[in-house]
Amino acid sequence: MADDRFSGNPLRDPNDRRLPRIAGPCVLVMFGVTGDLARKKLMPAVYDLANRGLLPPGFGLVGFARREWADEDFASRVHEAVREYARTPFREEVWRQLSEGIRFVQGNLDEESSYAELAATIDELDQLRGTNGNHAFYLSIPPGLFETVIQNLNRSGLSATDRGGWRRVVIEKPFGHDLSSAKELNQVLSTAFPSKSVFRIDHYLGKETVQNLLALRFANEMFEPVWNNHYVDHVQITMAEDIGVGGRASYYDGIGAARDVIQNHLLQLLALTAMDEPISFDATNLRREKQKVLSAVLPPKRPDLHTARGRYAAGWTGGRHVVGYVEEEGFKATSTTETFAALRVDIDSRRWAGVPFYLRAGKRLPRRVTEIALGFRKAPHLPFTATDTLDLGRNALVMRIQPDEGVTLRFGAKVPGSQMEIRDVNMDFGYGDSFTESSPEAYERLLLDVLLGDPPLFPQQEEVELGWQILDPVLDYWASLKSPPEDYESGTWGPASAHEMIARDGRAWRRP
Ligand code: BG6
């Protein structure tokens, strides 16, 4: 039966699933357009959305930076970024339409006059492109500058909605560097934008495979019954990268692995893995469940025993020799920044009591892989002789977030032959094998959600604060040591202390 939302409009195909998700007219202002994130992710994502027909004709993109660029110079940077990094094929007509709405404002983040110029440019686009006075501001800038920009948006009237239209602000992570600075930043934000207009980006939530966690857990019957401490022995969440900090040392130094990715990406993965079923996936209900489980997370009781940190030394990855962190450009001699962090947390709830969650993240590890692995308890009784099951490990369910996206179930199977010998085997679902569509990039999804004003995939202040509450005691403990983290050779799975940490519990890290 035809859906009457579309009746009367011959251009609308009721079976086109994109329909409800096309953004309305608006201007997207990007601060920090000379940075890597803008070039590699944000600009290509804007183009990909346009190419998929998800941006309206009334769309404008404004870049703001210190460079002495004209509109055309900025447009040609966007063009280069799109040609190099966009996911979807280049189409001249899409680019032409998009580039007509591209503008550049040369200015300083802390100068009032620059914001007046920005306002004039936005006004011009509103008139010319029919963007209806709807404006989103994307802060892809160093965290130390968030407050300056927010205050200036406020002072210049750019955050005000008294002339109609909506205003939204997108904040990149890390949101603060501890609990009190996160509260302070939120305070500044709230003077300029109501909380419903604040979009805190955690790009992991935009990944298809992360959203698949919700599908796997809540659209199926067979997983939920075993998703608790009766069956699960422990959970490991790994985010391994083979790259170093490269040219990003000036951002990374002083932040480190725990603030950079555990406070946000890994704790979000933990929340989605451990939370109870939300009543629905709308923003309120989803966030409520995530907050509930995060508030039950107990920070490591003994940071000396339940955490580990490391810093990569020179070594080999991918067949080439790489320098250590202390040799990277931008590194400060007094640095105690970790490039690897691991911790064990427990969740104080009926479902998870007694099940440790081990989190680890690091750079210059042997390969790039993010996964969530549930390790199950051993069968309470094995009706085999001991030698039959020598090669039987724990059953495991592994959600492969990236790069080989899919799900693996590991269990014991009989080795062919006349004897009973049981060995671990894998059963695999791979995105690439089951679907022909390629997954949209996380930033495509999240940018679209911002333009649509769709908040479920954006953490709220409460989640950010809970994240810091879990991490602050660990960071304080590490700071109290006043020594640099333990070195690990590039291309290995982190410092010895990380292996000792989990071995103390009689377990070992997975080798993905
Ligand atoms: C970012 C971190 O949030 O995530 C980077 O700041 C990290 O340090 C990056 O390299 C990894 O993202 P992805 O999507 O490649 O796993």
Residue 490's contacts (CB-CB under 8 Å, 6 or more residues apart) are: 244, 312, 313, 314, 315, 316, 317, 322, 324, 364
Ligand 1: atom nearest CA of 204 is 14
Structural domains in the chain plus CATH codes: 4-172 (3.40.50.720), 205-378+460-503 (3.30.360.10)
**Pocket probe mutation, ligand 1, options 260, 325, 402, max atoms within 8 Å of Cβ:** 260
Based on the residue annotation, tell me whether 234 is a catalytic residue of this protein.
Answer: no
CA–CA dist 33, 299 (Å, integer):
37
Residue 96's contacts (CB-CB under 8 Å, 6 or more residues apart) are: none
Question: The tokens of 431 are what?
Answer: 């995105």
pLDDT in tens, 173-231: 999 999 999 999 999 999 999 999 999 999 999 999 999 999 999 999 999 999 999 99
Ligand 1 centre from 333 Cα, in Å?
24
For residues 145, 150, 153 and 156, what is the CA-based torsion angle, rounded to 10 degrees? -90
pLDDT in tens, 411-422: 999 999 989 999
CA–CA dist 174, 340 (Å, integer):
17
Indicate whether 465 pLDDT > 90: yes
Ligand 1: atom nearest CA of 370 is 16
Predicted structure pTM score: 0.94
Nearest CA to ligand 1 atom 7: 261
Ligand 1 centre from 241 Cα, in Å?
8
CA–CA dist 77, 461 (Å, integer):
34
- Would you say 256 and 378 are in contact if contact means Cβ atoms under 8 Å apart? no
Find residue 316's DSSP bridge partners. Answer: 321
Distance (Å) of CA 110 to CA 115, 152, 333, 427, 481: 9, 7, 29, 55, 36
Residue 403 preceded by cis peptide, ω within 30 = yes
Residues having CB within 6 Å of any atom of ligand 1: 241, 260-261, 370
The per-residue pLDDT for 14 is 52
**Among candidate residues 405, 498, 444, the one with its CA nearest the CA of residue 52:** 444
Residue tagged active-site, from 135, 234, 265, 306: 265
**Among candidate residues 24, 25, 42, the one with its CA nearest the CA of residue 33:** 42
CA–CA dist 26, 134 (Å, integer):
5
User: From the CA atom positions of the chain, what is the Rg in Å?
Assistant: 24
Match 């693996």 to its residue by tokens.
408
- Would you say 183 and 465 are in contact if contact means Cβ atoms under 8 Å apart? yes
Ligand 1 centre from 249 Cα, in Å?
14
Q: State mean pLDDT over 130-142.
A: 95
Q: What is the DSSP letter of 263?
A: I
Q: How confident is the model at residue 11 (pLDDT cuts 50, 70, 90)?
A: very low
Residue 167's contacts (CB-CB under 8 Å, 6 or more residues apart) are: 134, 135, 136, 137, 158, 159, 160, 161, 193, 197
- Would you say 422 and 413 are in contact if contact means Cβ atoms under 8 Å apart? yes
**Among candidate residues 60, 81, 63, 82, the one with its CA nearest the CA of residue 71:** 63
Per DSSP, the residues of 360-387 read EEESS-SS-EEEEEEEEPPPS---S-GG
Q: What is the mean pLDDT of the chain?
A: 93
Nearest CA to ligand 1 atom 10: 241
Nearest CA to ligand 1 atom 6: 260
Indicate whether 269 pLDDT > 90: yes
pLDDT in tens, 320-363: 999 999 999 888 888 999 999 999 999 999 999 999 999 999 99
Indicate whether 22 pLDDT > 80: yes
Q: How confident is the model at residue 3 (pLDDT cuts 50, 70, 90)?
A: very low
Between 8 and 316, the more confident residue is: 316
Ligand 1: atom nearest CA of 243 is 10
Which amino acid is present at 468?
A: W
Q: State mean pLDDT over 270-277.
A: 98
pLDDT in tens, 63-97: 999 999 999 999 999 999 999 999 999 999 999 99
- Cβ–Cβ contacts within 10 Å for residue 263, how many? 29
**Among candidate residues 476, 169, 129, the one with its CA nearest the CA of residue 300:** 476
Residue 347, classed as helix, strand or coil, is strand
Nearest CA to ligand 1 atom 13: 204
**Pocket probe mutation, ligand 1, options 241, 242, 340, max atoms within 8 Å of Cβ:** 241
Distance (Å) of CA 462 to CA 190, 272, 340, 370, 481: 14, 15, 26, 25, 29
Nearest CA to ligand 1 atom 9: 261
The per-residue pLDDT for 229 is 98
Nearest CA to ligand 1 atom 8: 260
- Would you say 358 and 227 are in contact if contact means Cβ atoms under 8 Å apart? no
Q: How confident is the model at residue 251 (pLDDT cuts 50, 70, 90)?
A: confident
**Entry field: residues in the chain:** 512
Ligand 1 centre from 458 Cα, in Å?
17
The per-residue pLDDT for 33 is 95
Ligand 1: atom nearest CA of 241 is 10
* Helix (H) or strand (E) run with residue 500 in it: helix 496-503
Ligand 1: atom nearest CA of 251 is 6
Ligand 1 centre from 418 Cα, in Å?
49
Q: How confident is the model at residue 6 (pLDDT cuts 50, 70, 90)?
A: very low
Residue 494's contacts (CB-CB under 8 Å, 6 or more residues apart) are: 308, 310, 340, 342, 360, 362, 365, 488
Nearest CA to ligand 1 atom 15: 241
> What is the distance between the terminal CA atoms of the chain, rounded to a whole angstrom?
48
Indicate whether 479 pLDDT > 50: yes
